[in-house]
């Protein structure tokens, strides 16, 4: 049985990825921190399709909790796909950013991803696929999310470095950089703001979590067997680096 581990898999993009990879036949381990009820609903949905799944409460900034996650028996049997999806985004103007805030964001978005990978790396199969959920803001920056942008830039650069290191083993590492996606980050938009965002995107719509999940499924498949170290922008043409 192939196994996929998805961090932050209880809601938004992570939930869509969990469901999509389950539909591809993967047994799912998803982690959550503050969305236990939602995570269990995702697990129930997957189990109703006769695919096994489990939700694990894990604060990725806590090295002890991450170490405990790595002892899960499904992980010990080998991980085929690792999706590093968790994250935090607090809107703070770059000029008002304080060091403590920057450290919290980096600890979650960048260091947390590293800690999870480090804890489970010995359980990754030789042909494991690692998908890192970054952001377009990791390339273009943001006046009200400098800490988030910096964390996603660090994450992408680390992932591309890792891709070069593990390629001889057959493992592949790629980054997905979403644009506007209908998740909690945009949940507070007014109708006017939502329309404004849609008009800004050349494809004239906000992305869905399923759009990102489809890209993860592609990167987890043999159809992408010659792709590693890539940053794939999934944004409807909003940003073309």
pLDDT beyond 80 at 189: no
Domain boundaries in the chain? 3-234
Residue-level pLDDT at 91 = 82
Architecture of domain 3-234: 3-Layer(aba) Sandwich (3.40)
pLDDT band at 104; cut points 50, 70, 90: very high
Catalytic-role residue among 26, 32, 148, 239: 148
- Return the pLDDT at 180: 92
* 128 burial via Cβ count (<10 Å: 0-12, 13-18, 19+): buried
Query: Would you call 32 a catalytic residue per the annotation?
Result: no
Which residues have a Cβ under 8 Å from the Cβ of 105 and sit 6 or more positions away?
88, 89, 90, 147, 148, 150, 151
Measured between alpha carbons, how far apart are the two ends of the chain, in Å? 38
**Rounded to two decimals, what is the model's pTM?**
0.95
How far is Cα 25 from Cα 171, in angstroms, rounded to an integer? 20
pLDDT at 185 over 80: no
* C-alpha triplet 50, 51, 56: angle, nearest 5°: 130
pLDDT for 19-66, tens place per residue?
999 999 999 999 999 888 999 999 999 999 999 999 999 999 999 999
């Amino acid at each position: 049985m192939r196994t996929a581990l998805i961090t932050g898999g209880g809601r938004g993009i992570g939930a869509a990825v969990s469901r999509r990879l389950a539909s591809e036949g993967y047994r799912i381990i998803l982690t959550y921190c503050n969305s236990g009820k939602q995570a269990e609903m995702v697990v129930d949905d997957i189990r109703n399709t006769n695919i096994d799944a489990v939700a694990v409460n894990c604060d990725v900034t806590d090295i002890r909790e991450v170490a405990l996650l790595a002892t899960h028996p499904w992980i010990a049997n080998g991980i085929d796909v690792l999706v590093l999806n968790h994250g935090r985004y607090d809107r703070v103007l770059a000029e008002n950013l304080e060091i403590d805030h920057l450290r919290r964001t980096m600890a979650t978005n960048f260091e947390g991803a590293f800690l999870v990978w480090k804890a489970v790396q010995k359980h990754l199969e030789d042909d494991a696929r690692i998908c890192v959920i970054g952001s377009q803001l990791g390339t273009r920056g943001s006046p009200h999310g400098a800490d988030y942008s910096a964390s996603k830039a660090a994450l992408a650069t680390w992932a591309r470095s890792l891709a070069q290191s593990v390629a001889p083993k057959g493992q592949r590492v790629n980054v997905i950089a979403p644009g506007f996606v209908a998740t909690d980050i945009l949940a507070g938009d007014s109708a006017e703001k939502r329309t404004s965002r849609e008009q800004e995107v050349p494809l004239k719509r906000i992305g869905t979590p399923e759009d990102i999940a489809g890209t993860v499924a592609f990167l987890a498949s043999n159809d992408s067997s010659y792709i590693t170290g890539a940053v794939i922008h999934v944004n409807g043409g909003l940003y073309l680096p």
